[in-house]
Amino acid sequence: MISRSVGFSAAAAAALLAMDATAFAQGANPVYRNKQIRMVIASGAGGGYDAYARILSRYLEKYIPGNPTIVNQNMPGASGMQAMNWAYAAAPKDGTVILATYNALLAEPLYGNPAVQYDTLKFEMIGSYSKQQNICVTWHTSPIKTIKHAQEREVIVSSTGATGNSATMPKILNAVLGTKFKLVLGYGTTEARLAVERGEAEGICGLSWSTLKASNPDWVQNKRINILVQTGAKPQADLPDVPVLLDLVANADDKKVVSFLSFPEEMGRPFVMPPGTPKAMVEAVRQGFDAALKDAQLKEESDKQMLEVDPVSGPEMERILNDAYALPKDLIKRAAQLSGVETK
């Protein structure tokens, strides 16, 4: 009798959970019932941002109250700037557009980029799928195993262009920690990594840890790199013992500059909605976003594609952006100089 009662209770609990999930998806006032949302992706098809957006779309349909259909639309151009400008000025403001954009574009207005035709703080922040913190590494055969070692002698690192992450991160490390990284510019993204494998360079800085795990899994699985330091506000879950750059910086102003330069990485794969989108719709999409990123099937699908799930909520994105935009202009100018950006 007891076993039957327990079995019945378990079945009843499962049924109640199913009912709760349905009620959650439909909502008391489902503003998205019978509606369609465009997921506009500020990159071409096939890249990392595209992959994240398309997975998210499939699960948002399930979790946004009212269960709208979501269609994906790529809008590449000007490194994502075209889509950002469109979403700000021309996109419908009726809740039918979500933009998957580049994290660096959220900082561009601070540098006075003349191509910018938007105010970042007026966008509605939905959330980020994962962070995109960077690391600085040397090859496993190198005697440079720590940042302290890199302060003691010159370390040649491969890089793409003068303003790419692989150039700006070593310049920042040299400026705030006194390291002795020497840049060799002109490599393509893949070639910069091959240069390390071939011994043309001793290391490379400014690599996205989440991207590296997908693009060069052998480096990670077979421990072929020494990870010297990571950016971000706190250690990434699978790099608990790697020092965080922010913790190594002693000067108070330098610490503010480093934190500022790292803020886009804290919102690695951001999703926003156009300014003026009705608040009820923004909240519905935020609710769906937070729930979707907790879905076990989304996590499983992401893992299969080696896409990291480390979400940031919409309100947390707003806090990060407000803090960054409150930085004094003289420190923003210094941050721009360190990263090789010309301010206007």
- Residues of the chain with pLDDT > 90: what percent? 71
Same fold for the domain at 21-131+269-339 and the one at 134-263? yes
Per-residue pLDDT at 99: 98
b/e burial code for range 87-117 (CB count within 10 A of at least 16 → b): bbeebebebbbbbbbbbebbbbbbbebeebe
Fold of 21-131+269-339: D-Maltodextrin-Binding Protein; domain 2 (3.40.190)
Does 287 score more than 80 pLDDT?
yes
Confidence band, pLDDT 50/70/90 cuts, at residue 163: low
CATH class of 134-263: alpha beta
Q: How far is CA 250 from CA 244, 246, 335, 344, in A?
A: 13, 9, 16, 29
Nearest-5° Cα angle at 129, 223 to 165: 55
Q: For the chain, what are the domain ranges?
A: 21-131+269-339, 134-263
Give the other-Cβ count within 10 Å of 315's Cβ. 11
Per-residue pLDDT at 51: 92
The strand ranges marked E within 193-327 are 203-208, 225-230, 270-273, 312-313
The amino acid that residue 135 corresponds to is I
Does 263 score more than 70 pLDDT?
yes
Does 16 score more than 80 pLDDT?
no
Per-residue pLDDT at 189: 82
Per-residue pLDDT at 38: 98
Per-residue pLDDT at 213: 86
Distance CA 325, CA 107 (A): 8
pLDDT tens-place string over residues 193-248: 999 999 999 999 999 898 888 888 899 999 999 999 999 888 988 899 999 999 99
Asked if residue 115 lies in contact with residue 144, where contact means CB atoms within 8 angstroms, the answer is: no
Per-residue pLDDT at 338: 80
pLDDT tens-place string over residues 92-146: 999 999 999 999 899 999 988 899 999 999 999 999 999 889 999 999 999 999 9
Give the residue with greater pLDDT, 283 vs 22: 283
Per-residue pLDDT at 218: 93
Helix axes 314-325, 252-266, angle to 10 degrees: 140
3-state secondary structure of 146: coil
Q: What is the largest CA-CA distance in the chain?
A: 78
Strands 36-41 and 155-158: unpaired
Q: Looking at the DSSP assignment, which residues form a beta bridge with residue 37?
A: 70
Q: Looking at the DSSP assignment, which residues form a beta bridge with residue 208?
A: 134
Q: Looking at the DSSP assignment, which residues form a beta bridge with residue 207?
A: 135
Confidence band, pLDDT 50/70/90 cuts, at residue 22: very low
In sequence order, which residues have a C-beta less than 8 Å from that of residue 239 and are 6 or more positions away? Answer: 135, 209, 227, 230
Per-residue pLDDT at 138: 98
Distance CA 13, CA 246 (A): 47
Distance CA 218, CA 287 (A): 37
Confidence band, pLDDT 50/70/90 cuts, at residue 342: low
Q: Which strands make up the sheet holding 203-208, listed edge to edge?
A: 181-184, 155-158, 203-208, 134-139, 225-230
3-state secondary structure of 301: helix
For the question of whether the overall pTM of this predicted structure is more than 0.85, the answer is no
Per-residue pLDDT at 29: 58
Handedness of CA 187, 41, 216, 181 (dihedral sign): positive
Confidence band, pLDDT 50/70/90 cuts, at residue 5: very low
Confidence band, pLDDT 50/70/90 cuts, at residue 19: very low
Average pLDDT over residues 154-181: 90
